[in-house]
Chain A
């Protein structure tokens, strides 16, 4: 496989569930990101990891917990979510400080 792969593609969860989103990049990049995409809103940067270290947390609620075990894998652990958290969650990677992001196809999350 090439590029950035996200699983699952779709996820429906109740407000009391715990689930995780997975992202894997096959581009040899060292930086990875989580973005939230809601209808008619700009893409919102959530977290940035550089060489497995979190370098940015964009005031994201603690019910979202990221994990980056290595430069190729990124997880987003979800618990006690709210219906307004329903959105498309996009993972991206880049080579260091290069401004070009490579996105996965996202996980469509629905919180019921």
Chain B
């Protein structure tokens, strides 16, 4: 059973546009929701993360929107750039000492056209 469902699988956006990737979860014990960014030939790297006590977190052009009641969260990339082309993974983990036990979505391959 997939713990975190991510969509879309792939996304093509024009330079300057907004990229939106959505994730949903069922386990109400999850209390930390990171997004990882992976470039070809590289490992995933933490991009931005949120806890459910806030509904939005913004870092530069990247924003996480969190809807606790719907058990959904999304990544918005404003003013998308060709350098943002990468695979994005949402993840979730339960509270407490979980030794990094992250449940990942399947990933979204983002392509930003110049």
Chain A interface residues (CB < 8 Å from chain B): 4, 31, 33, 40-43, 45, 48, 50, 55-56, 90, 92, 94, 96-106
Contacts and interface: CB of A to CB of B under 8 A. Distances in A.
A31 B98 CA distance: 11
Interface string B38-81: 00011111100100000000000000000000000000000000
Nearest to A43: B104
Contact of A42 (B43, B97, B103): B103
A55 B36 CA distance: 24
Interface in B67-114: 89, 93, 96-107
Contact of B41 (A42, A94, A105): A105
B9 interface: yes
A103 B44 contact: yes
27 contacts: A4-B43, A40-B106, A41-B106, A42-B103, A42-B104, A42-B105, A42-B106, A42-B107, A43-B102, A43-B104, A48-B100, A90-B43, A96-B97, A96-B99, A97-B96, A97-B98, A97-B99, A99-B93, A99-B100, A99-B102, A100-B49, A100-B100, A101-B44, A101-B46, A105-B41, A105-B42, A106-B43
With most chain B CB atoms within 10 A of its CB, the pick from A41, A43, A55, A56 is A43
Contact of B99 (A40, A48, A90, A104): A48
B43 A94 contact: no
A45 B101 contact: yes
Contacts, number: 68
A97 B32 CA distance: 12
A92 to B, nearest CB: 7
B100 A33 contact: yes
B28 to A, nearest CB: 17
